[in-house]
Amino acid sequence: MKPPIPLHEAQARLLDLVQPTATETVSCEDALGRYLAAPLIAKRTQPAADLSAMDGFAVSGEGSWRVIGESRCGVPFGGSVSAGEATRISTGAHVPKGAEAIVLVEDAKLASGNQLTATEEPISGRHIRRAGSDFETGAHLLETGTRITAARLALTRMAGHSSLTVHTAPEVAILECGDELSTMPHMCNIDQIPATNGAMLSAMTLTEKVVVQTSPPIPDNLDALAATIETYSGTNLLIISGGASVGDHDLVRPALHRLGAKIDFWRVAMKPGKPLMVATRGKQIILGLPGNPVSSYVTGFLFMLPALRRLLGAKECIPNPISLPCYEDLPAGGPRRTFMRATFGEGQVTPIAQQGSGALGALAQADVLIERPEHCGVTKSGAHVPVYILPTSGVA
């Protein structure tokens, strides 16, 4: 048996196998959460003209000023203002030609209806958003592969786009196998356990634009497993949880062999998640995830979601750790890169006592994964450690 390969090599090999899906043009709103298939180039200049940043008066020269009109959003003042003149102005309205300062409403005094004085001397250029200060027509605003977030969706529209080119939603099948798995958590007998991984992995994909298909748990039977894999052969990505290890009833490898799939690698030097398997069958990518629920989650986070992002054309597919202090001493690392479930609070992370790869209670409590590199030394409390933030505030 070949030794497990290092995590980073395994992730790189997986991503090398995956090609982004075809492209399609969708409304900016429908592109939310997807990745640009072309750079975002500004089709307009923003602001298109000098605008006031405050409600008040646009003035020219020294005060006092005679108010000769109004500039409001959508209805600019038609003419220009000369020294000693002003217009009323709204936040976001065009600064009239000739005006160079804004007197805030709070600082304005009006006598006989239209004679303006200021309690605070206005400063030339202050409270004026200059034309093009956000971006100019032709500016390269977002790179290919950038994810459309709420703020970027607003930017695409402000830049004059109503549609965007993105990659089509890949089809993903999520399977789970094991004779002990029950679809009825409320009525499991002693020989059974509730099937959790299919539901969990499906939930994890909700952060990406994908079409997910699931099937009831597959029994530990080679014919049944091969037949189910065949049923989903048309999907871009096939995820199989369980049966990835070396036991007599771990049938994913035999089933893939029988179907002529090419196993690219099996076993990664990581904990949890060692029996992870990556294979291809024609254009389909197949990921065999270990069945222990925490192992399935961690490999889902570090392999399944990156593969989906690559299918969707993301420029960054693999999550990046940040550095945070750890509240406790951490033991030296072993031969496998280890991902410890931990909580986050008061600016530091604290490992959870129960680190078993079946311990869903601890996983459900975890805010972060602490990364312990292979053979690292002891880490003293207070030292910074690499940490992956888990999405705990929304779905998945």
Ligand X SMILES: Nc1nc2c(c(=O)[nH]1)N[C@H]1C(S)=C(S)[C@@H](COP(=O)(O)OP(=O)(O)OC[C@H]3O[C@@H](n4cnc5c(N)ncnc54)[C@H](O)[C@@H]3O)O[C@H]1N2
Residues that bind ligand X (CB under 6 A): 176, 178, 180-181, 193, 195-198, 241-247, 250, 272, 274-275, 290-293, 295, 357-358
Both tokens of residue 388? Answer: 């992956």
The 8-class DSSP code of residue 152 comes to H
| Binding flag, residue 357, ligand MOO (CB under 6 A) | yes
| Binding flag, residue 309, ligand MOO (CB under 6 A) | no
Alpha-carbon distance of 300 to 270, in angstroms, equals 13
| Binding flag, residue 242, ligand MOO (CB under 6 A) | no
Q: Pick between residue 171 and residue 176 the one whose CB is nearest to ligand X.
A: 176
- Residue 162 CB, shortest distance to ligand X, in Å, is 43
Alpha-carbon distance of 340 to 338, in angstroms, equals 6
List the single partner that 46 binds among ligand X, ligand MOO, none, CB under 5 to 8 Å by kind: none
* 281 bridge partner residues: 284
Q: Pick between residue 45 and residue 292 the one whose CB is nearest to ligand MOO.
A: 292
The contacts of residue 9 (CB under 8 Å, 6+ apart) are none
List the single partner that 243 binds among ligand MOO, ligand X, none, CB under 5 to 8 Å by kind: ligand X
Closest to 102 measured CA to CA, from 116, 89, 83: 89
Applying CB under 6 A, among 63, 96, 198, 272 the residue interacting with ligand MOO is 272
Q: Parallel, antiparallel, or unpaired for β 211-214 and 348-351?
A: unpaired
List the single partner that 4 binds among ligand MOO, ligand X, none, CB under 5 to 8 Å by kind: none
Both tokens of residue 387? Answer: 């940490």
Q: Pick between residue 151 and residue 187 the one whose CB is nearest to ligand X.
A: 187
- Which amino acid would we find at residue 154? A
Q: Pick between residue 111 and residue 184 the one whose CB is nearest to ligand X.
A: 184
| Binding flag, residue 273, ligand MOO (CB under 6 A) | yes
Q: Pick between residue 122 and residue 272 the one whose CB is nearest to ligand MOO.
A: 272
Q: Pick between residue 76 and residue 290 the one whose CB is nearest to ligand MOO.
A: 290
CB-CB contact of 310 with 242 (8 Å): no
List the single partner that 245 binds among ligand X, ligand MOO, none, CB under 5 to 8 Å by kind: ligand X
List the single partner that 291 binds among ligand MOO, ligand X, none, CB under 5 to 8 Å by kind: ligand X
The residue whose two tokens read 């609070």 is 345
Check whether the bond before 331 is cis (ω within 30° of 0): no
Task: Find the Cα–Cα–Cα–Cα dihedral 354, 360, 366, 367, rounded to 10°.
Answer: 160
| Binding flag, residue 45, ligand MOO (CB under 6 A) | no
